Amino acid sequence: MKALITGGAGFIGSHLAERLLELGHEVAVLDDLSTGSIDNIAHLKAARHFSYVVDSVTSEPLLAEMIDRSEVVFHLAAAVGVKLIVERPVHTIETNVHGTEVVLKHANKKKKLVFIASTSEVYGKSADVPFREAADCVLGPSAKHRWAYACSKLIDEFLALAYWKEKKLPVIIVRLFNTVGPRQTGQYGMVLPTFVRQALAGDSITVFGDGTQSRSFTYVGDVVDALVALAAEPRAIGEVFNIGNRGEISIRDLAERVKTLAGSDSPIQLIPYDEAYEEGFEDMPRRVPDISKLRALIGYEPKVGLDEIIRRVIDRMREHEVPQNRTSRAAVP
Ligand code: UDP
C-alpha cells in the first residue's frame, strides 16, 4: 500500500513508518516538526520507498497532493502531551480540530481510507473501567484546559464518523491508550520517558499527586501492529477501536520499577497536581482499556510487557540522550 503518515516524524508515526517499510509498503511523511523530530526518521531516509516533507497539514495544496498520491492516510499529526495542552490550549484546539477537518475534506475527494488517531483521554473521568468503545465519555468543565484535548479529539471522531455516514468516506478511529517506547520524549509531559531520564540522571523522580492513579501502558510496536492489521480489515471501516494493554500499574509503582530497572538511586518526590500543571488540575484515577472489540476483529494481543518496555526505553536513552550519569548503575535484570 501507499501510505501517507501525517505526524510521521513523531514518536508513534515514526514507528509506524518503520513497520510499513519493513513490510514492503510505500511511505510518505508529512510533519511540521512541532513536536516530532527529524532524528526519529533519520534512519529511514535512505529507504527506497520512503519520502518526507516538512510542512503542516494545514498547507492544503500540498496535503491534497500527498493524499492524492496515497491509498491510505494515517492522520497522527496532533498536539499531544498534557503539559503542552495545559500550556498552549489555543494551539491544541486549533491543531487538532482544523488539521483533521482538512485531512478528511481532501481524503473525501477520492474516498481514501483515513485513520484518525484519537485517545483514551476521551473517556475522561469515567469510572466505568475497563473502558468500552460504546461507553459514555465523562469530561470536566471547559474552564479546565485539560479537557480541551479530549474534546478536540471527540470532535475529530464525530467529524470522521459523519463523513462515513453521510459521504461514505472510509474512516477508522483508534483510541490510543498510554503508548510508550523508545524515541518518546518527556518534553511534553509523558510520564515514562520523564521518569527514565530522571532515574538515569540521578535526579528526583517526580510523581504527581499521591501516585495512586494508575495507567495501562502499551508498547508502540504493539500499537503499530494493530494499525497495520486494521488497515487490511474492511470490517474496521466506520468503527472506533481501543488500542491498549490491560495491565495496570500505579504511577508510584511505575517510579519504583523504573528506579529498579535503571539501577538508580534517585529519590521519589511527590508533587501536588496544582504545582505540576495548574491550579484545579483534574487527573483521572484509572484508565484501563477493554480490548475485546479489537481482539475479536484482528486477534490483537499486546506482546511486550511493561518491564521489557522500560528496559528498551532505558537502553535507548542511555545510547542516545543521557550523558554518562552520576548515580545510575548497570540495569538490574
Ligand atoms: N505524571 C507524573 N510525573 C510526571 C509526568 C506525569 O506523575 O513527570 C503522571 C500524570 O499526572 C498522570 C500519569 O503520570 O497521572 C500519566 O501521565 P502522562 O502525561 O504520561 O499521560 P496521561 O495519562 O495523563 O495522558
pLDDT at 329: 43
Given a cut of 90, whether residue 332 has pLDDT beyond it is no
Residue 67 pLDDT:
98
Cell numbers 499521591 label which residue?
Answer: 210
Between CA 331 and CA 131 the distance in angstroms is 35
| pLDDT tens-digit series, residues 164-221 | 999 999 999 999 999 999 999 988 889 999 999 999 999 999 999 999 999 999 999 9
Closest atom of ligand 1 to 83 CA is: 19
Q: Which residue has the cell 496532533?
A: 78
Q: What are phi and psi of 301, to 5 degrees?
A: -145, 115
Atom of ligand 1 nearest to the CA of 273: 11
Indicate whether 262 pLDDT > 80: yes
**Structure-block grid coordinates of residue 63:** 496535503
Predicted local distance difference test score (pLDDT) of residue 175: 98
Helical pair 306-320 and 191-201, crossing angle rounded to 10 deg: 60
Out of 149, 188, 277, 300, which one is annotated catalytic?
149
Q: Look up cell 518496555; give the residue.
A: 309
Whole-angstrom distance, CA of residue 198 vs CA of residue 39: 22
- Residue minimizing CA distance to atom 24 of ligand 1: 82
Can you tell me whether residue 110 is helix, strand or coil?
coil
- pLDDT digits over 161-180, tens only? 999 999 999 999 999 999 99
CB 68 within 8 A of CB 2: no
Please tell me the predicted confidence (pLDDT) of residue 323: 54
82 vs 137, higher pLDDT: 137
Q: 208, 250, 258, 313: which to mutate for ligand 1, most atoms within 8 A of CB? A: 208
What ligand 1 atom has the least distance to the C-alpha of 255? 7
Closest residue to atom 3 of ligand 1, CA basis: 207
Domain spans in the chain, listed from the N-terminal domain onward: 2-181+218-243
User: Looking at ligand 1, which residue's alpha carbon is closest to its atom 25?
Assistant: 82
Give residue 6's pLDDT.
98
- Residue 322: what pLDDT? 57
Classify domain 2-181+218-243 at the CATH class level.
alpha beta
| Contact status, residue 313 vs residue 196, Cβ threshold 8 Å | yes
Cis before residue 272, ω within 30 degrees of 0?
no
Identity of the amino acid at 156: D
Rg, C-alpha atoms of the chain: 19
Phi, psi dihedral angles at 182 (to 5 degrees) = -60, 150
Which residue has a Cα nearest atom 16 of ligand 1?
A: 191
Residue ranges around ligand 1 (CB below 6 Å): 82, 121, 178, 189-191, 194, 206-208, 213, 215, 251, 283
- Taking CA atoms, 170 is separated from 166, 231, 234, 321, in Å, by 11, 11, 9, 40
Tens digits of residue pLDDT in 107-137:
999 999 999 999 999 999 999 999 999 999 9
User: What residue's CA is closest to ligand 1, atom 17?
Assistant: 191
Atom of ligand 1 nearest to the CA of 121: 25
Q: Ligand 1 centroid to 191 CA: how many Å?
A: 5
Q: Which residues contact 199 (CB under 8 A, 6 or more apart)?
A: 205, 258, 259, 262, 264, 266, 314, 328
Q: Phi, psi at residue 47, to the nearest 5°?
A: -65, 140
Whether 300 is a known active-site residue: answer no
